[in-house]
Structure 1
Amino acid sequence: MKNTFITTGLLALSFISTNAQNNSVPVYLDDKQPIELRIEDALKRMTLEEKTRLSYAQGKFSSPGCPRLGIPELWMSDGPHGVRAEINWNDWGYAGWTSDSCTAFPALTCLAASWNTTLAADYGKAIGEEARYREKDVLLGPGVNIYRTPLNGRNFEYLGEDPYLAAELCVPYIQGVQKNGVAACVKHYALNNQELWRGHIDVQLSDRALREIYLPAFQAAVERGGVWSIMGAYNKVRGTHATHHKLLNNDILKGEWNFDGCVITDWGAAHDTYEAAMYGLDIEMGSYTNGLTSESEFGYDDYYLGKNYLQMVKDGKIPMEVVNEKAARVLRLIFRTAMNREKPFGSITSEEHY
């Protein structure tokens, strides 16, 4: 499937060459133009269906671009300690490739114990090189949730129990990854502080605890790290699922912190079409469907941001400015990663990485 879109990309390059003589190159294909101008140009050319289709998966770890316009798909991979072995297109089995080995880096809890920002930068750069070599556009890490119990099954992949330490170490990690034209995806936003009952547990806390303990690392990731994507958490916060949460996403993340990237669900963390559309979710991944299999009664179009989202827009229940803003964020991520022609080639399992 990926080869199909590689071909699409080559056609897009051919299109540039053909039209250059006529000075009619679409702005969105010209990576010498400011990225916001490219986004504006692409949005003018896209149909409503193409805009909404940007916002949900087409495979287990891929979301679509706009093939008609030569805008490529996004490929994501689990982190944050190594680039996950290739998963099958439409199920959770491993593809069994013999060419996708990766360096297994120490867990982030070990990185946190080093108190070493230089090492964090080297770590991020190295794992970003491996993701780039594997042609991944988004690396799902680092994790910066705060340890609240030793029984949390994900403690090993977070940067410790101190908000200041996690903030100081995640910033160079993110910058190191993104030097490779690969987006870091800081997770799990927010308050995913235990794995037990994570899909429905409802976290109640004071504003002071939220601001002083649980959000500083995420804020540093956005304001100082310049992170390009953030992963929404499974749990509820004050009665609403975090992945489409007005306070967390609209008011704080995109409002106060001026985050210009994408909010991506953890796999299967979306629960409502209207909330997902209106409260800041940009890309929905991993919702519980059977995907593209021919016997499927429940496929990717049945995601919350799938056909129901499109219909709600057509019915006037969701404004077009919401659609355009969401599509712009996905396009910005694609232009920073998959359509970035300045990114290096990357490397994998090198002596330096070991």
Structure 2
Amino acid sequence: MSEQSKDHNARARELVSQMTLEEKALLLSGNGAWRTHAIERLGLPSIFMADGPHGLRKSLGASVAESVPATCFPTGSALASSWDTELVRQVGAALAKECQANDVQLVLGPGINMKRSPLGGRNFEYFSEDPVLTGHLAAAYIQGVQGEGVGTSLKHFAVNNQEFERMMSDSILDERTLREIYLPAFEIAVTQAQPWSVMCSYNKVNGVYASENPFLLEDILRKEWGFEGFVVSDWGAVHDRVKGVLSGLNLEMPGSGDVNRKKIIEAAQAGQLPISRLDEVVTSLVAVVLKASEHRRSGARADLNQHHALARRVAGESVILLKNEDHLLPLNVSAKKKIAVIGAFAKEPRYQGAGSSQVNPTRISNAYDELAAILGGSERLSYASGYDVEGETTAQLLDEARQQARDADVAIVFAGLPDSHESEGFDRSSLEMPEGHNRLIDVVTQAQPNTVVVLMNGSAVTLPWVNRVKAILESYLTGQAGGGAIADILTGRINPSAKLAETFPQRLQDTPTATEFPGLNQKAHYGEGVFIGYRYYDKKDLEPLFPFGFGLSYTTFAYSDLTLGAASIKDTGSLTVQLKVKNTGKLAGKEVVQLYVREEKPAVSRPEKELKAFAKVSLEPGEEKTVSFTLKPRDFASFDAALRRWSVNPGRFEILAGSSSRDLPLRKQVQVEATQVTFPKLTRESMVKEFKNHPKGEAFYSRLAKVIMGEPSPDAGQVKRTPQEERARKKADLSTLVFVNDMPVYKLVNFSEGKFTEQMLNDILAQVQ
């Protein structure tokens, strides 16, 4: 804890000691939709919270149009595609400056829930299917915002992966899956960046609402990770307010008037809520209020022109080149070629998602106008809308598009998902784009062989025409300046460098949750375990449409010279990894170097490989750079559910490096030696085979096995058997041994008909403890 944090906590404790019970209860519920309560007699002000995360949404009324104008940056799915932590940090800083200018002390973001299914209605707002990429981007975002004196609220904690019945759904999963997939991004963000606030989710986790879950809010968040801020409920996520206080939920939002305030007061007066616990929860909140008030900048102004320019630069780093056959892109703007711009999104772009993250932009650029500006006018451009606002088309609209495509030298089709297809509040029912968009692309490709498709969508879609177009740009939702960024990439003013932060499947049936998403009847069973995203496609050996980490460039890169700092390390040590990457093309560009780890002979079912580190490298033509990473013990570990801790299985691990999860040309092995091997306690319920692999139990294994197998006959070696009889005997012995090994040890008493007694079993168990 920093000295400044200690000072805020000390001041907060002093103020809380002077508060009445009623004042403490007052503070734990919001003052309306966006503010905390002030305690004027103690000089404690209120703070104002506003929606994010890709732009400020300070509400002035019921609709988005009534929120303050603010820079709309690319949404989470686009921003993550940059794989650029420094760029994300700059976005956070700009967002904070607009918060300061609008007297907002805390922004509700970033959203970092895992993309368990590509159908998740809020996937546009989240970063990735991978917790390591998500965690480091979130940490950078938080550092950027809080470095400007504005707080963040990391959300939604935890296991909040569907919109359907989100206020009541129960996320049911084992602890290993929880620890390896759904918590690490939060852990990285909390331990590296210390957000001022964490927002708990609506859903239950294994039967307990997140808003009153002591395992999540107290044991993990505060005790394990050292979280110092306050926990706020998602808006309306509170159920039992007293249980929430006892479990570590500080602030209820929005305010509930005196409804829950009375319950807190009555519970405290009845002794059901210890005053010491109440004071602790109030103090954490007051400390952040004091910190926020201290960083308030009266009269602050934000340079919105500068932020629009940043939004354009960020969008340019976030657009992914998925295909570029015959080097159709970048377009040769000096050649006097005619360009058909087709699709209503070219002039009326879909640039952000719907729901609480919706921003009232300061301005909006579109690709058609930006292309015209780059070309020096619209004389070489033609246009056809192709479809209406819902993505529906008509024969007339298709005929117009066909004619424009036929008369041009190249056609650029803008397509994707309309607003009505994905939003907070509901999940998608299909991975397909509207039929009108797909029909439009079919018509254009029949008329024009040189067709480029620019996608505007918040999350993965299927592309049935992928083999019939020459080039594809995935722009996601690129914010208010996305039109300019897309034009920059189409014309080569920017060399694309983005990579997919999620897998694009061939079809919905290939996805890990195809048979059970969303969870119905208020139950979401996470039966796929740790195998989401690329982990699933690797394990099932399924070929995705486009793999995790994939993205092309207008230049080329070569990887070489992978070196490890040691051939063998202990499970308490670290490993330095170095490699070289060279720009072998003719244009300056950026490459995202990705590092994965694979356990060769895992003790439990593990993914084939997992992302552990990444870096974005800028290279001039012919330039080569050395990239270094440091892998830590946790990068080799899996979560041991029996021991309830992270554990490294000793053995060989493979280090893989390259440009995507399916393109890893560099590989080397390292041996990891165990120094902290801990074995689970042997009990009556332990299986016989568990004794064999236990340092104290192995001495008793043969004795336990012989209870069923029996002692070999003294004349066994003298019995003459035919080869067939010998094979049959060995097969029978093996079958019996397998049966015995999987048997709980207490069953030996019954199977031996009492020859192996309860006392014998107890004596053995006493000796192995």
Give the TM-score of the pair, scaled to structure 1: 0.82
Pair 1:307-2:262 in alignment: yes
Pair 1:333-2:288 in alignment: yes
The separation in 2 between residues aligned to 1:33 and 1:272, in whole angstroms, is 31
Q: Is the 8 A contact 1:232 1:242 kept in 2?
A: yes
The alignment partner of 1:161 has SS state of coil
State the structure with more CA Rg.
2
The structure with higher relative contact order (CA 8 Å, sep 6+) is 1
The separation in 2 between residues aligned to 1:283 and 1:172, in whole angstroms, is 25
Number of the residue aligned with 1:4: none
The separation in 1 between residues aligned to 2:264 and 2:241, in whole angstroms, is 6
Task: Specify whether residues 344 and 243 from structure 1 end up closer, same or farther in structure 2 by C-alpha distance, changes over 3 A only.
Answer: farther
User: Pairwise mapping of residues 290-305 of structure 1 onto structure 2 (< 5 A)?
Assistant: 300-302=257-259, 304=260
Q: Is the 8 A contact 1:75 1:136 kept in 2?
A: yes
Higher fraction of helix: 1
What residue identity is the alignment partner of 1:307?
K
Q: Structure 2: where are the runs of 5+ without partners? A: 310-769
What is the Cα deviation at residue 86 of structure 1?
2.0
CA offset digits 1:25-81 (Å, max 9, x no partner): xxxxxx999222211221222222112211101111111121111211121100001
What is the Cα deviation at residue 339 of structure 1?
3.4
Task: Specify whether residues 343 and 259 from structure 1 end up closer, same or farther in structure 2 by C-alpha distance, changes over 3 A only.
Answer: farther
Q: Is the 8 A contact 1:123 1:173 kept in 2?
A: yes
Q: Is the 8 A contact 1:180 1:344 kept in 2?
A: no
What is the Cα deviation at residue 340 of structure 1?
3.0
Number of the residue aligned with 1:225: 193
What residue identity is the alignment partner of 2:128?
G
The separation in 2 between residues aligned to 1:209 and 1:311, in whole angstroms, is 39
Q: Is the 8 A contact 1:234 1:266 kept in 2?
A: yes
The separation in 2 between residues aligned to 1:341 and 1:151, in whole angstroms, is 40
User: Pairwise mapping of residues 1-354 of structure 1 onto structure 2 (< 5 A)?
Assistant: 34-88=7-61, 92-93=62-63, 96=66, 100-286=68-254, 300-302=257-259, 304=260, 306-340=261-295, 345-347=300-302, 349-354=304-309
Higher fraction of strand: 2
Task: Specify whether residues 246 and 343 from structure 1 end up closer, same or farther in structure 2 by C-alpha distance, changes over 3 A only.
Answer: farther
The separation in 2 between residues aligned to 1:335 and 1:235, in whole angstroms, is 31
What residue identity is the alignment partner of 1:107?
T
The separation in 1 between residues aligned to 2:271 and 2:254, in whole angstroms, is 27
Task: Specify whether residues 348 and 337 from structure 1 end up closer, same or farther in structure 2 by C-alpha distance, changes over 3 A only.
Answer: farther
How many residue pairs were aligned?
Answer: 306
What is the Cα deviation at residue 222 of structure 1?
1.1
Task: Specify whether residues 95 and 71 from structure 1 end up closer, same or farther in structure 2 by C-alpha distance, changes over 3 A only.
Answer: farther
Task: Specify whether residues 233 and 69 from structure 1 end up closer, same or farther in structure 2 by C-alpha distance, changes over 3 A only.
Answer: same
The separation in 1 between residues aligned to 2:215 and 2:257, in whole angstroms, is 28
The alignment partner of 1:52 has SS state of helix
Q: Is the 8 A contact 1:143 1:186 kept in 2?
A: yes
Number of the residue aligned with 1:27: none
The separation in 1 between residues aligned to 2:272 and 2:51, in whole angstroms, is 35
The alignment partner of 1:231 has SS state of strand
Task: Specify whether residues 75 and 53 from structure 1 end up closer, same or farther in structure 2 by C-alpha distance, changes over 3 A only.
Answer: same
Task: Specify whether residues 263 and 210 from structure 1 end up closer, same or farther in structure 2 by C-alpha distance, changes over 3 A only.
Answer: same
What is the Cα deviation at residue 234 of structure 1?
0.7
The separation in 1 between residues aligned to 2:41 and 2:6, in whole angstroms, is 21
Q: Is the 8 A contact 1:180 1:343 kept in 2?
A: no
Q: Is the 8 A contact 2:267 2:273 kept in 1?
A: yes
CA offset digits 1:229-254 (Å, max 9, x no partner): 00000111010111221110011001
The separation in 2 between residues aligned to 1:32 and 1:184, in whole angstroms, is 16
What residue identity is the alignment partner of 2:54?
H
Q: Is the 8 A contact 1:189 1:243 kept in 2?
A: no
Q: Is the 8 A contact 2:150 2:295 kept in 1?
A: no
What is the Cα deviation at residue 95 of structure 1?
8.5
